[in-house]
Structures are given as C-alpha cells and as structure tokens.
Structure 1
Amino acid sequence: MGVKDELKVMAEGFRWGRRPLVPRSAEEHAQPKVDRVFPSDWARSDAGVAARQVLLKGAMHPLVRNELTLRVFGRDNLEGVDPPLIFYSNHSSHLDATLIMCTLPDSWQAKTAVGAARDYFFDVWWRQAFTALVYGAFPIDRTRGAKGAVDKARELLAEGWSIVVFPEGTRSADGHLQRFRHGAARLALETGAGLAPIAIVGAFQAMPKGRFWPRSGRPPVTVRYGEPFWPSEGQTHQELSLRMTQAVTQLFHEERTTWWEALHRAQRGETPSLVGPQGPDWLRRWEGSRPVGRKGPAKVWE
C-alpha cells in the first residue's frame, strides 16, 4: 500500500467533524463540554507565514494537482489592487479553502487568513493546529452570536490582512448555491474593505459533503477570481449581499459559457440563478452532482 492509499485509509477512519462519541448509555454521566478558546495568532507570525508557504507550495499544491484536474482563471483581476480584501466564495466542499489558498498569487497568499467553523475545525488540538498553520485560520462560531469572530476579522483587516469567508455559512448539501448571510457584507460596510468574488466549480462533484478525499480519476475543478469591488455610499447590507451573490453567479455562468456572454447577460439582468429549482432533496443532489466537462467553456474562436 502506497503513502497516498494509507492517507486515504486514515482519512476515512477519523471523525473529522466531531469529538469521539460517548456511548448513549453513558451520556448522562459525561462531563459537560468545556468551551475553550484556541489561540491562532501564532500562525500569522513571520515564522507561521514562512512555514505555511512551505506547506502550501511543497505539499498541499502538489497534492491538489495530483488528485484534481485544476484550472484557474482571473488572478490578473488582483493585479494593482491594494490589500486588504475580503475574498468570498460559494461553499460546497472541504476542498474550497485549500483550493483558494493554493491558487492565490504569492503576494496575497502570504497575508491571507481563512475564517473556519469553530465547532468543526477548532474542537480538537491536532485539527486546531493544522487548520491554523495551513490556512492562517481564525475561528468563526456558527451556533451563537459571532461577535468574537467579527472582532477578529475586523482586527485582521485593520492590520492589512485579507480574509477568506464563505457567506453561505456551511457547505451546500446538494451543490446548489445557498442564501448568503449578511456577515461579510456588514463587515465590508463597517471597514470599507473591498470584496473579491470567487467561484469554485466542480468541487462538489469531486468531494461532496460526506467524503474526506476526492473521487478517483482526477475530477476537473475550476477556480475563477472575479474583479474586486467596494461598497457604495448609502448601500445597505442586504443590497451588498445581493451584489455579492450576483458576482459569484456571473463567474459560474462565465465558466459555463464565455466571459463575453456572461458579462452581457449580467448587464441585461438575465444571469440564471444558481439556487436551482425547488424539488426533492435527492433530485437536487443528483442534479448538483452532474459531471463537469473537462474541456471547460468554449472559446469564442472555436
């Protein structure tokens, strides 16, 4: 058995999202869960940044390239833009944060931190350390008021750090886009930080919720970076959230057609929704898992 196969077996055996189970008969005797705060600032120190660069370039990026057929577009939209930015993306797979950190230009990658779910990634020490080191991550509480996470995000932006957030709040169970929560929009309005949309196409098909390793066959995945934009004066957080959704939707349509057609459809207000039609959950999952073409969108000269 090779190293890759051993890693897959180990990944399947871990309870990645939770602590070890307590037998039902012993639940009433179990000690109450202690709410601990795991420090992550060390991962954004000079030494932490250097270690992260080595891990991303020497291990994570080659592993991603080995397991996926990866295509990246739009990084030129970040040229000449001053940090910090709030990078935001659709969220359908645990691949998403890794794909973003592995495809960001070096100048951005070195000073970008990912907002990660506290109840999932910061519940046991080894996962806390890995998440903080590889992603420069800071915890976001999805179950209670997230004031602490907002304060940390605001602090990072003030220090010149860009952040990565997933406005849907959790991974999509069926691959379709979920409603954006307003936290990122509020943060942009409060801080004046720009918003950089990202569309990740194919991650759900490659590694949907419930899988801990990509499917075999190097499934195709595309990461598209859109043009950053800034909140307008007098804009409400609802209006900004809508614009954020539209920007990601346009990038998806750009992947399915061409940049030119996607742009014109957006200007005419004709960009198809990514939410998908209402229907049985199994049918939405089946439709959301439709294989992504390996050739990508047609070129205008083809």
Structure 2
Amino acid sequence: MSFSPDKTLVRALLVSLCRLLTGIKARWQSVPQTERPTIYFANHSSHLDGLVIWASMPAAMRDKVHPVAAADYWQKSRLRRYLSSRIFGAVLIARNGKSSKPLPDENPLVPLIDVLEKQESLIFFPEGTRGSGEALGEFKSGLYHLMQRYPEAQLIPVWLENLNRVLPKGSKLVVPIICSATFGSPLSGPAEHETKAEFLDRAKVALEALSHA
C-alpha cells in the first residue's frame, strides 16, 4: 500500500483528537481475527460513534474497516465528503435504505457485500438511526439480510458507553467525557430454522449484555 501523506497525517490527528475528547477505553473480550471479514454492530447515539469504534481499533486494522454512515449527513459539505471517503473509507447509505448512488438492482446491501467480499470489515448500526443513548432501539432488518447474503462474515457486538453525552443529539458542542467501547465475543449468524425476528432479538440481547460487562 502506497504512503499517502494527507491520509496518514489526518488519520493520526483525528485519532488523537478523538481520544483526547472521549478518553476512549477499548475492551476486547476476544482476540480480533483480522484476516476474517467482520461486521462490528453497535448501539448508535452520536455522529461520533463510527469514529470512536474505528479509533479504538489497532492502527493496522483501520485500513480494512469501513463505517456504514448516513449519506445525507456526510455529503453535506466538502470537508465531510473528504473525511468520509478519503479518511474513513465509509460506505454511505441514504436514510431511506437506498445507497447514495443508484445501483443496477437497487439493492442497498450491494456496497456492503462488496466490502465483505474484499475480505474487509464494516462498522454497522442496526438501529438504523441515532437513539437517545438511554435504551437500545429495535433493530432494523438490515443486519439479518446482510448475514443472509454473506454468512461467512463474523459478527462482533460493540457497546459504546457515554457517546450520547459527548455529542448530544441536536447539539454541535462536543463535551469531553470518558467513554468506552466494549467489543464482545463473536456471535453466530442466523441458524437454519431461526426467523428474522428471532435472530435480531438474539443480536440485540448480545449487544445489551455488554452494557453490564
């Protein structure tokens, strides 16, 4: 991989800034299998969530881990577009569930499957939108359909603590608060006779359990 001065320097700056503002502490319940495509699925209460998970990872992993983010937010300005595409390598999805760019089959999973097929990983928020941070919302069907399309992916729940207080919903002011990211043990994908609702409930329970870890 060629050296890109702007990418390397901006990444280092953002990781340092993220750690300064959040004091983020990462806890791993199992050793990450970096050679295997993984879906890191997490609770969502702040625009900083994807950055915090990404910054919590060892530097060697970041090139192959891509946050899934809202296109309408990250395409609003030149700076956001630069950060999302050049620095984070984010996969941008429209909030109505469609990709930010038209696809031949209009399947919103296509850009996500493309990442996994390259043996790279995703940071995914199954609630689909930001919550209050006080309680975990219902999971949308995306996680289930993603695992149906690419069952080889590894599932890792990630519980974020206090991110809703760092950047409260509706606020542009960042408040320095100690936060944590707990990476759980791998979760198996949908079983043969497991319904969509049963799988999503199992995934949600596994994520919620990390809030007490």
* TM-score over 0.5 (shorter chain): yes
For the residue of structure 1 that corresponds to 2:179, the secondary structure is strand
The verdict on how the C-alpha distance between 1:52 and 1:250 changes in structure 2, with shifts beyond 3 A counting, is farther
Work out which of the residue numbers 175, 197, 221 in structure 1 matches 2:134: 175
The residue that corresponds to 1:88 in the other structure is 41
- The one-letter amino acid of 2:177's match is P
Task: Write the deviation string for residues 90-143 of structure 1: whole angstroms up to 9, x where unpaired.
Answer: 000112111011011233222011111112112444322221122211111212
The residue that corresponds to 2:10 in the other structure is 55
The residue that corresponds to 2:27 in the other structure is 73
Task: Write the deviation string for residues 242-265 of structure 1: whole angstroms up to 9, x where unpaired.
Answer: 1211111010011xxxxxxxxxxx
Matches within 5 A, 1:152-301: 152-173=111-132, 175-192=134-151, 193-215=153-175, 218-234=176-192, 235-254=194-213
Q: Deviation of residue 65 (structure 1)? A: 2.3
Q: Decide whether the 8 Å contact of 2:187 with 2:203 is kept in 1.
A: no
TM-score normalised by the chain length of structure 1: 0.62
Identity %: 24
Q: Which runs of 5+ in 2 are unaligned?
A: 100-105
The verdict on how the C-alpha distance between 1:167 and 1:53 changes in structure 2, with shifts beyond 3 A counting, is farther
Q: Deviation of residue 50 (structure 1)? A: 7.6
Q: Deviation of residue 81 (structure 1)? A: 5.7
C-alpha root-mean-square deviation of aligned residues, in Å?
2.2
- The one-letter amino acid of 2:81's match is Q
- The one-letter amino acid of 1:161's match is E
The verdict on how the C-alpha distance between 1:145 and 1:48 changes in structure 2, with shifts beyond 3 A counting, is farther
For the residue of structure 2 that corresponds to 1:149, the secondary structure is coil
The verdict on how the C-alpha distance between 1:50 and 1:212 changes in structure 2, with shifts beyond 3 A counting, is same
Task: Write the deviation string for residues 200-238 of structure 1: whole angstroms up to 9, x where unpaired.
Answer: 0011122111222421xx311111001122314313322
Return the structure number with greater helix share.
Answer: 1
The verdict on how the C-alpha distance between 1:79 and 1:124 changes in structure 2, with shifts beyond 3 A counting, is closer
Q: Decide whether the 8 Å contact of 1:49 with 1:110 is kept in 2.
A: no
Q: Aligned equivalents of 2:7 and 2:80: distance in 1?
A: 15
Q: Decide whether the 8 Å contact of 1:139 with 1:149 is kept in 2.
A: no
TM-score normalised by the chain length of structure 2: 0.86
Q: Decide whether the 8 Å contact of 1:48 with 1:133 is kept in 2.
A: no
Q: Decide whether the 8 Å contact of 1:188 with 1:231 is kept in 2.
A: yes
